[in-house]
Chain A
Amino acid sequence: MIEAPQQEPRLVDEAAGVTVQAVRRAFRTRRGELLALQDMSLRAAPREVVGVVGPSGCGKTTLLELVCGLQKPDAGAVLSAPAALMPQRDLLLPWLGALDNAALALRARGLDRRRARAAAAPWLERFGLAGFEHARPAHLSGGMRQRVSFLRTLLAGKPVLALDEPFAALDAITRAEMQAWLSQVLESEPRTVLIVTHDVEEAVVLADRVVVMSPRPGRAVAELEVALPRPRRRTDPEVVTLRERALEALGVRE
């Protein structure tokens, strides 16, 4: 048995980026081959937040799974520091309280329950979940569940976070709150982040750079720098302008 590390949660010791180079990924289905990604390229510098937007079914989730090493590309290359996934649905375990759900990533690495809890507990407080340590998911609000889910991915201790439509299931007000909250967290806990979303506004509010993908087979068709100070509001004129440009790249006319 290897002794688990005693010190405070070692979250990330080095920053590292992501490079996706001319990737092709196809799936075999009953009706033939389904080409999810074709000639998809993308780069995220260390500690950069990259928003990936595209129409539904354009291979965004496939892209994240490639970055997390859960799939292999058929052609091209994926170079990434270790990445942890935050799935679209929170996927919290219904039999565990918030603390144990957040600590799941630590237990996955082999920490026993006591150590995993001790390491996760201070974070719960930081994430505004104090008092809900033992509340099961059924008793948490949507926003709280999403925060527990994000904390779980953060505690996996990987330099890259792959967020798959993290706030898609939330109502508009909670979503705006959670976007502001995520911005703050990433400021104090910087990571290389790929955040996939179909909400262009969300990408512009959160990301340093927005990559726009084409419909299937997905590939990057445009890239927008978001050199705006944080915190950003969705009503800021610059945000609105960038949003328009991204929508245009997506082929949406308003």
Chain B
Amino acid sequence: MKLARRHLPPVLLLAALIGIWEGYVDLKGAAFSLILPSPHQVADALYHDRSLLWSSFLLTAEEVLLGTLVACALGFALAVAIHFSHAFRRAVYPLVVASQAVPVVILAPVLAFWLGFGIGPKLVVVALVSFFSVVVTTVAGLSSVDPDLLKLMRSFDAPRRRTFRLIELPAALPGVFTGAKIAVAVSVIGAVFAEWNGSDAGLGYLILTSIPQLLSARAMAAVVILALFAVLLFGLLALVERAALPWAYQPRGEPS
């Protein structure tokens, strides 16, 4: 009963959305389904193109995972530097924000020139679109420590670095996780855009090439896989967070 009550709402919502979508495409006719394929056509494509989709997925997944790791490491390092140095914060933070306004198409030729056509430039694009959330949430986490606690540590003669390790770093971890959860979702779309330039494989490339061939059901199947992957990564991170930081997890009372 409890299980049903928990899982019924999302299942019902999803079923309703698919139903409306199916009905709408049926109503519009066969030609329209080349623009927006109906759910059963997408399911067909998922089955028939499964080996192509799977091999494309493996490449895109690699880009997403490695790119997110780079983003987290880079974002964390930048956040620590921003936290410690006012000069660094003033010099670098505006550039970090500005970096988010740079369209991928502008970067693609330069990245191809520097890094070729392999996975390298894709990782750069994925990391570029997703490091921002890690920087912002980690900076916020690091500075969330009560100033009185820092005073207390000074009265205990703790050197600055030890205060960072014992207090600011653990206090920032929930923020790091929040940033990483946003980053994985953004990384997926980042990988798709990355594959639109100088690429010959991956789900993003598959979408790009399927649409002009009027294989819109295949393109949509790729989107479904990308969406599921984002949800899966987000869920995994949430599980790890709950296990690693039980003190930060406040169970919300379920209404009875």
Contacts and interface: CB of A to CB of B under 8 A. Distances in A.
Q: Give the dominant DSSP class at B's interface.
A: helix
Nearest to B163: A108
B156 to A, nearest CB: 4
Interface residues of B, number: 20
Contact of B146 (A68, A91, A107, A156): A91
Interface residues of A, number: 24
B151 interface: yes
Interface in B165-187: 166-167, 170-171
Interface in B152-167: 152-158, 162-163, 166-167
A174 B244 CA distance: 34
B166 A85 contact: no
B157 A109 contact: yes
Q: Give the dominant DSSP class at A's interface.
A: loop
Contact of A108 (B146, B166, B245, B248): B166
A104 B163 CA distance: 10
Contacts of B162: 107-108, 110
Contacts of B167: 93
Nearest to B174: A95
B114 interface: no
A108 B153 contact: yes
Most buried by A among B157, B170, B171: B157
A222 to B, nearest CB: 28
Most buried by B among A65, A69, A108, A110: A108
B158 to A, nearest CB: 4
Contacts of B248: 94-95
A108 B148 contact: no
B175 to A, nearest CB: 13
A65 B152 CA distance: 10
Nearest to A149: B152
A156 B156 CA distance: 6
Given A108-B166, A156-B156, A95 B151 contact: no
Interface string A145-173: 00000000000100000100000000000
A136 interface: yes
Contacts of A85: 151-152, 155
Contacts of B247: 94-95, 136, 138
A105 interface: yes
A95 B169 CA distance: 12
Contacts of B240: none
Interface of A: 65, 68-70, 83-85, 87-89, 91, 93-95, 104-105, 107-110, 136, 138, 156, 162
11 contacts: A69-B155, A83-B155, A84-B155, A87-B151, A91-B148, A93-B170, A94-B248, A104-B166, A108-B166, A109-B157, A156-B155
Given A108-B156, A108-B157, A108-B163, 6 more contacts: A84-B156, A88-B148, A93-B167, A95-B248, A105-B156, A107-B166
